[in-house]
């Protein structure tokens, strides 16, 4: 059998491979059509950034490296917005994490010695609830790993997991957003599939020793095929790593050079992004990148632009966008 034939067989056996290939092709066509438009200042006047309103419930998945540094920023940013009447509804932020604080976590995560032995989500939510300055904001926690009902929970470990279907059971009646700060792919896929099907926006933030990025999936606006994590990094859908039932303390012990810089920068980027969205009531960009090394930088690209009301899209614009959306639908449903 030739390599080409082997590849064809592999794609037939693995629907994700075919879905990735088809989406990448559709996205390339879409970007080739829209990029010249976005670069033309005159034509861009026909487009506007995506509308944004902070949801009532914000589920933050992960309370360790980035989540711990994000919590105090979120408490201040959202409290200030409520105090200034930029937000006029109650906001509940829920941290979800099953990990326990260990001594090695103190190297780069936002914990102190008395926290050792306690659940990370509990520590973060209870501590920074005291930083809230408006009664219409609250912080709470769930001491469990977030998965969907298809996840193979190890026997005897059921109490360590919570189903996303249960956490957001009333997502049809109240508005939700998920901020995903974990990097195991099974959970990421479960989050995106549920949120895509239920029109819940997702912000993914991830980093390595020096670099990181933020991706915004505007599922509530039908724009997930433009800026979501899997739209920008579709190859990542090939990964299927599961939750490891211990925390990243060993990795922390070996991260002496990194310290907490990358996690703190990721949290700062997330806080700034959220503050801008709240203040401007729009999402201008769906992809933000940063570097904390010698060449320190932060940049936003991939503009989130929608045609102004009353202006008709060209046939090419409608066609390539619809194809990309259709192929993204197939990719997400293949998870």
pLDDT band at 12 (very low <50, low <70, confident <90, very high): low
Each residue of 201-242: pLDDT tens digit?
Answer: 999 999 988 899 999 999 999 999 998 999 999 999 999 887
- pTM of the model as a whole: 0.90
Pair 7, 326: CB distance under 8 Å: no
Span 7-22, average pLDDT: 77
Q: Among 77-81, 126-130, 289-293, name the one with the lowest average pLDDT.
A: 289-293
Question: What is the rounded average pLDDT for all residues in the chain?
Answer: 89
Q: Among 109-113, 131-135, 311-315, name the one with the lowest average pLDDT.
A: 311-315
d(CA 285, CA 266): 16
Please give the residue that has the higher pLDDT: either 209 or 270: 270
- Strand-pair category, 47-51 with 305-307: antiparallel
Percentages helix, strand, coil for the chain (3-state, rounded to 5) are: 45, 20, 35
Q: 26-333, which class in CATH? A: alpha beta
The backbone torsions φ and ψ at residue 87, rounded to the nearest 5 degrees and listed phi first, read -125, 135
Domains of the chain: which residue ranges? 26-333
Q: What is the pLDDT of residue 4?
A: 60
């Amino acid at each position: 059998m030739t390599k080409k034939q082997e590849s064809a067989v592999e794609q037939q056996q693995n629907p994700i491979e075919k879905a990735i290939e088809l989406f990448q092709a559709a996205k390339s066509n879409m970007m080739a059509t829209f990029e010249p438009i976005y670069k033309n200042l005159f034509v861009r006047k026909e487009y506007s950034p995506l509308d944004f309103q902070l949801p009532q419930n914000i589920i933050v998945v992960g309370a360790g490296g980035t989540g711990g540094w994000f919590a105090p920023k979120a408490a201040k940013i959202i409290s200030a917005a409520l105090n200034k009447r930029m937000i006029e509804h109650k906001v509940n932020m829920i941290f979800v994490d099953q990990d326990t604080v260990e001594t090695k976590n103190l190297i780069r995560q936002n914990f102190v010695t008395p926290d050792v032995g306690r659940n990370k989500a509990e520590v973060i939510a209870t501590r920074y609830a005291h930083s809230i300055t408006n009664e219409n904001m609250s912080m709470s926690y769930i001491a469990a790993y977030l998965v969907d009902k298809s996840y193979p929970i190890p026997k005897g470990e059921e109490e360590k997991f919570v189903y996303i279907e249960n956490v957001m059971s009333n997502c049809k009646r109240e508005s939700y957003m998920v901020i995903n700060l974990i990097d195991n792919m099974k959970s990421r896929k479960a989050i995106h599939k549920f949120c895509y099907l239920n029109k819940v926006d997702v912000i993914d933030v991830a980093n390595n020793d020096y670099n990181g990025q933020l991706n915004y999936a505007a599922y509530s606006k039908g724009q997930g095929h433009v800026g979501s994590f899997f739209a920008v990094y579709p190859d990542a859908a090939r990964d299927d790593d599961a939750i490891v039932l211990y925390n990243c303390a060993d990795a922390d012990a070996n991260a002496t050079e990194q310290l907490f810089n990358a996690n703190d920068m990721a949290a700062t980027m997330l806080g700034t992004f959220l503050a801008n969205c709240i203040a401007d009531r729009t999402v201008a960009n769906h992809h933000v990148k940063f570097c904390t090394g010698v060449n320190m930088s932060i940049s936003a690209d991939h503009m989130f632009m929608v045609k102004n009301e009353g202006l008709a899209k060209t046939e090419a614009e409608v066609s390539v966008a619809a194809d990309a959306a259709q192929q993204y639908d197939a990719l997400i449903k293949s998870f």
